[in-house]
Structure 1
Amino acid sequence: MKKYTKSQLALRNGQDKPEIWCAYQSIIYDVTNSRLWKNGKHYEHWAGQDLTEELKDAPHTEKVFEKFEKVGMLSS
């Protein structure tokens, strides 16, 4: 799986590039086609970043990522 830096992920925020990506536990997911991520925003969360820490406050579990394509790994 291709590796991306945090800077590369940050560009996939729905504003700078057409892709809308977010990471969870170092796996990057493409959420571009999700109606819940329109314009790179999902409630108070923004795409282009690692959402691992923010998920604990979400009303859903990590299973939500199962429906999205894995596009890469977040390099450390």
Structure 2
Amino acid sequence: MNTYTLSQLALRNGQDKEEIWIAYQGLIYDVSASRLWRNGKHYEHWAGQDLTEELKDAPHTAHVFDKLVVVGKLKA
């Protein structure tokens, strides 16, 4: 599995490259196909970021990540 830095993740924000990625608990997920992440924005959240800390404020659980494709690991 490929490893990516925060800088590389930031480029997959829905604006700079075609891919739209987010990170959660050290894994990077591709949300490009999700209608909920159009243009790299999901409510008040932006793609290209580690959203681990933000999940506690979300109206859903971490099970939403079960439906997404893992594309890599976030470099510690």
- The interval holding the TM-score normalised by the smaller chain is over 0.9
TM-score normalized by the length of structure 2:
0.99
Write out per-residue CA displacement over residues 35-54 of structure 1, whole angstroms, 9 at most, x where no aligned residue: 00000000000000000000
TM-score with structure 1 setting the length: 0.99
| Residue-pair matches, total | 76
The residue aligned with 2:28 is 28
Alignment deviations for residues 22-62 of structure 1 (CA, whole Å, 9 cap, x no partner): 00001000000000000000000000000000000000000
- Structure 2 unaligned blocks of 5 or more: none
Distance 1:49 1:43 in 2: 14
Give 3-state SS (helix, strand or coil) of 1:28's partner: strand
Runs of 4+ with deviation above 6 angstroms:
none
RMSD of the TM alignment (CA)? Answer: 0.3
